[in-house]
Homo-oligomer: A and B are copies of this chain.
Amino acid sequence: MKRPKAFGFDVFGTVVDWRTSIARESAGFLAAIGRGDLDAERFADVWRQRYQPAMANVRDGRREFVILDVLHREMLVDLLRHHGVDADALDPVLVTDWAHAWHRLDPWPDSAAGLARLRALAPVVTLSNGNVSLMIELSRRAGLEWDAILGAEHARGFKPAREVYLATAAASGVEAGEFCLVAAHHSDLAAAREAGLMTAYIDRPMEYGGAPAPDRDQRQDWDYEADSLTALAAQLEART
């Protein structure tokens, strides 16, 4: 296995801990709207569960591409409605700020250091469904440094659509077979491998608060496997 010439990163779950951050932010917003009775961790989980169906409408061509900020806000409004809260009756600035909680996710402890070490080896770009402004704010807050923000908004599609992987590799200036997706999700890695990319799996057992991952049945023998980005960097540094 040759060392990749560039790395593309899944971000939600792989680089940042969305669940803890969204639960913490949602606890504050729920209290602010007088619904402190709702469980914030459960709220985070259900918000995230609406993620794939929301993107499917774009992937399947039923809807024009929109950035993830738009979908996050729609999912939030829908989830509030499910709990009997009319988002139209709330301050729209509060609703947008809540939807933008996805701009304020904390990194896993190894993320910034691991990315910096990998970036010393080859270009490191985002290959996330998150939009550019989300990635800019998240990365500045978390101290994450990238060579470019690519993925969904650049490709105008959502993973696991094949063209998102291929467009990200092409924009990075390398062949698909020289480009490695780094992700904590077997489903994402499976689609990347199908598109011809190299694959690196990062085990993040706390992504779902310790509950099993929904895509655990899609596990394969990936090109690289590690339990942190610093451990992946150490593997690759040893391979010249």
Residues of A within 8 A of B (CB): 123, 125, 131-137, 139-140, 145, 147-150, 153-154, 171-173
Task: Kindly name the residue among A132, A135, A171 whose own CB sees the greatest number of chain B CB atoms within 10 A.
Answer: A132
A135 and chain B: residue at smallest CB distance: B148
Which B residues are CB-close (under 8 A) to A132? 148, 150, 154, 171-173
Contact check: which of B123, B136, B171, B172 meets A148 at CB < 8 Å? B136
User: Cβ of B136 and Cβ of A153 under 8 Å apart?
Assistant: no
Determine the distance from Cα of A150 to Cα of B150 in the docked complex, in whole angstroms: 10
CB distance from A125 to the nearest CB of B (A): 8
User: Cβ of A171 and Cβ of B123 under 8 Å apart?
Assistant: no
Determine the distance from Cα of A132 to Cα of B125 in the docked complex, in whole angstroms: 11
User: Cβ of B148 and Cβ of A148 under 8 Å apart?
Assistant: yes
Which B residues are CB-close (under 8 A) to A149? 147-149
Contact check: which of B137, B150, B173 meets A173 at CB < 8 Å? B137
A69 and chain B: residue at smallest CB distance: B173
Which B residues are CB-close (under 8 A) to A145? 145
User: Cβ of B140 and Cβ of A147 under 8 Å apart?
Assistant: yes
Determine the distance from Cα of A147 to Cα of B137 in the docked complex, in whole angstroms: 9
User: Cβ of B131 and Cβ of A139 under 8 Å apart?
Assistant: no
User: Cβ of B133 and Cβ of A172 under 8 Å apart?
Assistant: yes
Q: List 12 A-B contacts (CB under 8 A).
A: A123-B136, A123-B140, A125-B136, A132-B154, A132-B172, A133-B172, A135-B148, A136-B147, A136-B173, A147-B149, A148-B148, A153-B171
CB distance from A153 to the nearest CB of B (A): 7
Task: Kindly name the residue among A123, A150, A173 whose own CB sees the greatest number of chain B CB atoms within 10 A.
Answer: A173
User: Cβ of A172 and Cβ of B123 under 8 Å apart?
Assistant: no
Determine the distance from Cα of A136 to Cα of B133 in the docked complex, in whole angstroms: 19
CB distance from A66 to the nearest CB of B (A): 12
Which B residues are CB-close (under 8 A) to A154? 132, 153-154
CB distance from A64 to the nearest CB of B (A): 15
A119 and chain B: residue at smallest CB distance: B140
Which B residues are CB-close (under 8 A) to A134? 173
CB distance from A88 to the nearest CB of B (A): 24
CB distance from A169 to the nearest CB of B (A): 10
Given A136-B172, A145-B145, A153-B171, output 11 extra A-B contacts at Cβ < 8 Å.
A123-B136, A125-B136, A131-B171, A132-B150, A132-B171, A133-B171, A133-B173, A136-B148, A136-B173, A148-B148, A154-B154
